[in-house]
A and B are shown apart, each in its own frame.
Chain A
Amino acid sequence: MDFLQRFAIPHPSPAIYASMVAIALVSIAIVAGLTYYKKWGYLWTEWLTTVDHKKIGIMYLISALLMLFRGGADAIMMRAQLATPEAKLLDAQHYNEIFTTHGVVMIIFMAMPFIFAFMNLIVPLQIGARDVAFPRLNALSFWLFFAGAMLFNISFVVGGSPDAGWTSYFPLAGNDFSTSVGTNYYMLAIQISGIGSLMTGINMCTTILKMRAPGMTLMKMPMFTWSAFIANVIIIFAFPVLTVALIMGTTDRLFGTNFFTTGNGGMDMLWANFFWVWGHPEVYILILPAFGLYSEIISTFSGRNLYGYKSMVASMVLISLLSFLVWTHHFFTMGQGALTNSIFSVTTMAIAVPTGVKIFNWLFTLWKGKIRFTVPMLYSIGFIPLFTIGGVTGVMLAMSAADYQYHNTMFLVAHFHNAIIPGVVFAMLAGLTYYWPKFFGFMLNEKIGKSTFWLLSIGFILAFFPMYITGLDGQARRMYTYSESTGFGALNMVSFVGAALMAIGFVTIVWNVYYSFKHSSRDIGSDPWDARSLEWATHTPVPVYNFAKVPQIRSSEAFWDAKKHGHQLFTGKQEEIHMPNNSGVPFIMGMIFFVCGFSFVFALWIPAVVSLIGIFVCMGLRSFEKDHGYHISVKEVEETEKLLGGASK
C-alpha cells in the first residue's frame, strides 16, 4: 500500500475524479473503436510508423489542437475563479496547479507542435524537396514530443500536477516547498520533448541548407522557409541550455544535489538565468515562424510580392541575435543592480526596431494591393494592430525602473498574451485555414471561419485589455483570489466574458472542420487561393514524393512567376524516385522514453534503468541496420501523376 500511495493525487477534487473517469472512458472508446472498425493495422502502417513529413506534420497538428483545448480548459477555469472576488470555485493549491499546467501546455505542448506542424508540412514543399534530411529522426522527434506531452498530461491524475509556475523558479520548485512529484513531471516531460525539439532543429537546418531545389539560392527562399530556418537556428542554440538546467533541477529533486538550493553553496538565481536564457529565445522560436506565415498570407491575398524581402530577412536575423541578449528583463526586480538592468533595458527595447521594420513591410505589402478578405487574411490584418499594442506594452515593460510597478502583475500577463495570441495563435489559425486545402483536399467554410475570427478577436480584447488596468492598479498574477475592496471585480468579470467568447470561438473551429468535411467541395484544384510559392505547384492531395520532377527555381515567388511570366518549373525527363522506408522504431523509442520518464518521476529505479538500456539498445540496433529506402519506378510515378490530373502546371 505504501508503494501505491505515491501515485495518489495529493489534493483530490471532484473535477479530478471526473477527469479520471473521462480519460478512462475515452481510452476505452478509442481502443474499442479501433478494434471494431479494424483500424489497428491502418494506424500502424500509415501513421505510427510513417516517416513522411506531411503525415508527421498532420500528427503534430492534431496534437497541437488537442493541447489547445487542454490548455484552454485550464484558462477558462482560472478566469471563472477570478471572475468574482473571493470565489470558491478553486482553492489556492488547485489554482497553482492550473496556472502552471496552462503555461507549460500552451507553450511547450501547443505552440511548439503547432509551429513544428507547419515546418514539417510546408518547408520541404517550399524548397522543392522530397522529404526532410533525416526522415526517421523526424519521426523520432515527433514521438519524443508526444511522449513528453502524454507524460505531462497524466500528472493531474497520477501523482499530482506541478504547481510552481511554468517558470518553476527555485527554491519554490525544490523538494522543501514542492513536495509532490508534480515538479518531477515538469522536469522530465519538458526534457523529453525538448530533446525532440533539438533534433527537429538539426533536421530542419540541414534540410534547408542542403536540400533546396536547383536555382533556389538562400535569398530566393520563400519567407516562411527563412523564418523556419532562423527559428531552428535559435532552437539549436537555446535548447541545450534548457537541457542542462532541467538535468540540474532533476538531480536537485531526485538525488539531493545543491545546484539551486539555498544551502551548501546552491544558487537559486542560476535557475532563473538558465531558464530565461532558453525561455526568451523560445518566444522568438514561436513568433518567427508565425511572422513567416503572415508574410506568405499577406503577400498572397494582397496580390503583391512581399515588400522589403531583404529587410525582412535581415530583421529576423537581428531578432535572433538580440533574443539571446535580453533574458535578464524577466527579473529586473531580483537584484542585479542598476547597470545590468540598464543594459538589458536597452537590448530589449532594441528588439522593437527590427520588429517595427517587419510591421511596416507588411503594411507596404498591403499598400495598393488588391486585398481579398479571406479568413487567413482577416487574422493577418487583425494581427498587425493587436500585436503592435502588445509590442508597445513590451517596450513599457522593458524600462527597468518602471518594471518595479509592472512586475508580477496582471499587466505582464496582459502583455505576453497580447503578444502571443495575436502573434502566434492567430498565425497558427490563419495558417491552418490557409494550408488546410493543401493537405485535406477541401476548404474550410469561410463564413464559420469569419465568425471564429470575430469571436476570438473580440473575446481576446475583452479578456486581456482589462488586465492592463487591474495590473497597473496592482492586481498580482498567480493569486487565486482577491478581496472585494480592491475593486477589481468588474474588470475581472469582463475578462471572464472575453475568455468565454474565446472558448466559443475555439469550439467553432471544431464545428467548422466537421461542417466543411460534410459539405465542402472536393473539386478545388491544386491552387485554390491563387498563391505564390512552390508548395502550391504540386497536386492536392500531395503525392508521397511531393514533386514528380525536381523544380527549377528562378525567383523567390517561383510559382507566381511560373503562372504569370511563363517560367518553366518542371523540365527534363521523369526519373526514378528514391524514398525512405517506414520504421516502427521511433514510435517504440518514444514509448520507452515515456516509461523512462515516468519511472524517474516516481524514483522507480529498476524500470528507469531498464528503459534507459532499452533506449540505447534501439540506438545500437539502428547502427547495424541496413536501410537503403525504396525506389518508385518511372511508370508508377507517371501513373500517379495521371491519376492526380496530369503533370502539374
Chain B
Amino acid sequence: MKIDHSQPLEYSTDQNQLNILGFWIFLGAEIMLFATLFTAYFTLEGRTGTGPTPAEIFEITPVLIETLVLLTSSFTIGLGVHAMRLGRKNAMITFFTTTLLLGLVFLGVEIYEFMHYYHVGATYQTSAFTAALLTTLGTHGAHVTLGLFWGTFIILQVKKRGLTPETANKSFIFSLYWHFLDVVWIFIFSFIYLKGMM
C-alpha cells in the first residue's frame, strides 16, 4: 500500500481517497432520501384528519435541547478531526466520545418527545400528518442511533490500533456523516418545528 505523506492521513492512500469520494456520493443519495421525506411531510402536514395539528403537539423546550445538543456535537467532532490532523490521539478520542455522549442525550430527548406525542394522541396511525412527521423524525433518529454504534466501533479501533491511514479514514468519514445529520436537523428544526409552531 502506497502512503502519500504530503496528504493528510485520511487521504493518504488511493483506497482512502476512493472511500471519501464514495461517501460523499452516498451523502448525495441521503440528501435525496431526506428531500423525499420532506416533500412528503410538506404535502401531508395540513392533512391531519381527525388527529391533532402540528401547533397542538409541538413543544419548544425538548426541541431546543435537541438542537443545542446536536449542534454542539457537530462542533466537538470537528475538534476531534482537528486533533486527529495534529496526531493527538487521546484528545481526538475525548472529542469523539463527547460527540457520542451528546448524540446519546439527543436520542434520549427525542425518545421523550415521541412518548409525549403518543400521550397527546399523535400516534403513527393517527393521520397522514403524524405518519409523515414520525417517519421523518424517526429516519433521522435511526441515523443517529446507527451513528452511535458506528462511532463507538471507530473509537475502539483508534484506541487499539492508533492513528493509521485506515482508522483516520474511518474517523473522517464518520465525521462527514455526523455533520450531515446535523445539517438535516437544521432543516427539521426550521421547516418542521418552527414552521409548525408559528
- Give the B-binding residues of A (Cβ under 8 A): 133-134, 198, 201-203, 205-206, 209-211, 236-241, 243-245, 247-248, 251, 255-259, 261, 263-267, 270, 274, 277, 578, 616, 620, 623-624, 628
Contact = CB atoms under 8 A, between A and B. Distances in A.
B187 interface: no
B29 A236 contact: yes
B150 interface: yes
B165 to A, nearest CB: 11
B129 A265 contact: yes
A265 B49 contact: yes
Contacts of B40: 244, 248, 259, 270, 274
Interface string B121-132: 000111111011
Given A237-B32, A244-B33, A210 B44 contact: no
B29 A240 contact: yes
Contacts of A628: 1
B131 A201 contact: no
Contacts of A203: 22
B1 to A, nearest CB: 7
B98 interface: no
6 contacts: A198-B29, A236-B28, A244-B33, A244-B36, A270-B44, A620-B149
B173 to A, nearest CB: 11
A241 B153 contact: no
Given A265-B48, A623-B154, A209 B21 contact: yes
Contact of B36 (A261, A264, A274): A274
A264 B128 CA distance: 6
Name, among B22, B30, B154, the residue most crowded by chain A CB atoms within 10 Å (CB to CB): B22
Contacts of B50: 264
B150 A623 contact: yes
B22 A206 contact: yes
A240 B127 CA distance: 24
A581 to B, nearest CB: 13
A240 B49 contact: no
B34 to A, nearest CB: 8
Contact of A267 (B44, B124, B146, B156): B44
- Give chain A's interface secondary structure class: helix
Interface in B78-128: 124-128
Could you tell me the dominant secondary structure of chain B's interface residues? helix
Contact of B29 (A201, A248, A277): A201
Given A203-B22, A210-B17, A264-B49, A258 B128 contact: yes
Contacts of A239: 29
A616 B148 CA distance: 13
A349 to B, nearest CB: 26
A239 B33 CA distance: 9
Task: Give the size range of B's interface with the partner.
Answer: 35 or more
A255 B124 contact: yes
B65 to A, nearest CB: 28
Given A237-B29, A244-B40, 15 more contacts: A202-B25, A210-B18, A236-B25, A239-B29, A240-B29, A243-B36, A244-B33, A247-B135, A258-B128, A258-B131, A264-B126, A277-B36, A578-B1, A623-B170, A624-B157
B51 interface: yes
B37 interface: yes
Which of B17, B50, B153 has the largest count of A CB atoms less than 10 A from its CB? B153
B53 to A, nearest CB: 11
Contact of A241 (B36, B44, B150): B36
Given A240-B30, A243-B33, A244-B36, A256 B125 contact: yes
Nearest to B48: A265
Contacts of B149: 616, 620
Interface in B123-170: 124-129, 131-132, 135, 146, 149-150, 153-154, 156-157, 170
A133 B20 CA distance: 11
Nearest to A260: B128
Contact of B22 (A134, A247, A251, A277): A134
Contact of B18 (A206, A236, A277): A206
Contacts of B47: 265-267
5 cross-chain pairs, A with B, having the tightest CB-CB distances, nearest first: A265-B47, A264-B49, A265-B128, A240-B32, A240-B33
Contacts of B129: 265
Contacts of B21: 206, 209-210
A256 B17 CA distance: 44
A133 B26 CA distance: 13
Nearest to B149: A620
Nearest to B37: A244
Contacts of A255: 124-125
Interface string B36-64: 11001001100111110000000000000
Given A243-B33, A264-B51, A270 B127 contact: no
Contacts of B36: 240-241, 243-245, 274, 277
Contacts of A624: 153, 156-157
B14 to A, nearest CB: 8
A583 B17 CA distance: 22
A278 to B, nearest CB: 9
Contacts of B150: 623
A623 B25 contact: no
A620 B153 contact: yes
A202 B26 contact: yes
Contacts of A134: 18, 22
